[in-house]
Amino acid sequence: MSEIASSSMAVSPSNSLFNKYEVGKLLGCGAFAKVYHARDIQTGQSVAIKVINKHKISHNAHLVSNVKREIDIMRQLHHPYIVKLYEVLATKTKIYFVLEFVKGGELFAKVSKGKLSETTSRKYFQQLISAISYCHSRGVYHRDLKPENLLIDENGDLKVSDFGLSAVTGQIRVDGLLHTLCGTPAYVAPEILTKRGYDGAKADIWSCGIILFVMNAAFLPFNDSNLMMMYKKIYKGEYKCPKWMSGELKRLLSRLLDTNPETRITSNEIFNDPWFRKGYKEITLEEEVFDSTAKRECKSTTLNAFDIISFSSGLNLSPLFDGSSSGIGERLVVKKSPENVIEIVEEIAKVANVRVMKRKEFGVDLVGGQNGKCVIGIEVFRLTDNLVVVEVQSSGGGKEFYDELWNNKIRSELNERRDTDTTES
């Protein structure tokens, strides 16, 4: 399968990405990803671009699964206190998450300078619980909540980020629990340490309790240079609140850091807690629906951003986004206009005596085969100013019809007429 390719797609401070984003300074990096500041060339809006090296994860099924899940989760979450995912792009070697740029940095940086006031920490905690409760209501469990993954924007509002270790309800086993061991040691719930399974929502609430404690104390409730000793403290729930904490805050912490997940406070109970309720402002959510039918209706001329990632061979995520993994099909990137591609398809179909049925703009169905019921659906989407994606899907059986018409004739013709400068630099 052809790959997206253009010299303008390399990520470096002096280049643009897909002629859409001017990429700037490096903000941070990890084992498999780097994060850059970038600017939308058309609007001037600042964004953060998380760049994942495909080669570093393609041989690790667990990491590939995490990337798939993170994309699927983030495109469904629309909440003022969760970092927005604008779109996903890909080249042959890289995957790009285009994210909301949160200017104020990590909550960790604020706490490392000293404890926050109860008023400030209450505001951040209210926003954190609002976001996490929203996630839980949609079957999403973060599983790595910590101050490093909570960002503060220029308005002083908190944003939850980094859903790379998140879980969804589909991962829950028949016992009703999650079983993957993950998270940051100092923030992990005691039931996770037992390795007998855990409720994702209750584990997240524990981590929120640790964060609330850290904001008000500027140190961890459970800490030890020896990791096993720290785990023992977590398992036993051994911690001490500093004297400056109010009685109401201490009572809430005792319920958040309850080592028994069955009696630990729930998010609904947190919303009714006296300390939490002070100054709390309800938010109205405007739900955005990502539905496959609507998505297909809106991409008649421009490819949906989340589909672009599926062009990278070895990391084909198209079933995750399409909901239509049955049949035979592929996507091909060529340097042509949509009109030119359809013209070539119709020309070849006419010579092959195959019936052509027009769909909407830049889409046709080719009907034929031995029983006359085999259909090859072809749609063309504009990717950039000079690149298009040809999406092909076969139905009604007819592998021979598909091979003969698409693989041997149309595809080879498109490849032969393709300009030579579309290979990735």
Is residue 31 pLDDT above 90, yes or no? no
Q: List the end-to-end C-alpha distance of the chain, in Å, as a whole number.
A: 17
Q: Could you read off the pLDDT of 48-67 as tens digits, one per residue?
A: 999 998 888 877 777 887 88
CATH class of segment(s) 107-277:
mainly alpha
Does the annotation mark 144 as catalytic?
Answer: yes
For residues 166 and 70, the answer to whether their CB atoms sit within 8 Å is yes
Dig out the tokens for 391 from the structure.
């999406």
Domains of the chain, by residue range, sit at 7-100, 107-277, 326-422
Q: Could you read off the pLDDT of 317-342 as tens digits, one per residue?
A: 443 333 333 457 777 778 888 888 98
Mode of pairing for the β-strands spanning 85-90 and 94-100: antiparallel
Q: Is 372 helix (H, G, I), strand (E, B) or coil?
A: coil
Residue 119: the pLDDT is 96
For residues 109 and 212, the answer to whether their CB atoms sit within 8 Å is no
Q: Which of 144, 199, 204, 322 is catalytic?
A: 144
Q: Measure the CA–CA gap between 64 and 57, rounded to whole angstroms.
A: 6
Kind and range of the H or E run holding 214: helix 200-217
Residue type, 6: S
pTM: 0.67
Q: Which CATH architecture has domain 7-100?
A: 2-Layer Sandwich (3.30)
Partners of 393 in the β-ladder: 329, 377
Residue 120: the pLDDT is 96
Q: Could you read off the pLDDT of 374-413 as tens digits, one per residue?
A: 888 888 877 666 777 788 888 766 788 888 888 888 888 8
Dig out the tokens for 106 from the structure.
């990590």
The pair phi, psi for residue 194, each rounded to 5°, is -75, -15
Q: What is the mean pLDDT of residues 285-297?
A: 42
Q: Measure the CA–CA gap between 186 and 124, rounded to whole angstroms.
A: 20
Of the listed ranges 72-76, 118-122, 387-391, 401-405, the one predicted with least confidence: 387-391
30 CB contacts (<8 Å, ≥6 apart)?
none
CATH 3.30.310.80 fits 326-422, yes or no: yes
Could you tell me which residue, 249 or 31, shows the higher pLDDT? 249
Average pLDDT, the chain: 81
176 CB contacts (<8 Å, ≥6 apart)?
199
Q: What is the CA radius of gyration of the chain?
A: 25
The pair phi, psi for residue 80, each rounded to 5°, is -60, -20
For residues 151 and 105, the answer to whether their CB atoms sit within 8 Å is yes
Residue 351: C-alpha distances to residues 348, 359, 405, 420 (Å): 5, 20, 11, 27
128 CB contacts (<8 Å, ≥6 apart)?
81, 145, 150, 158, 160, 208, 211
Q: What is the mean pLDDT of residues 66-81?
A: 88
Half-sphere exposure of 328 (CA within 13 A, CB side): 14
In the block, tokens 């939308």 appear at 40
Residue 300: the pLDDT is 35
For residues 178 and 167, the answer to whether their CB atoms sit within 8 Å is yes
Q: Measure the CA–CA gap between 78 and 283, rounded to whole angstroms.
A: 12
Residue 301: the pLDDT is 40
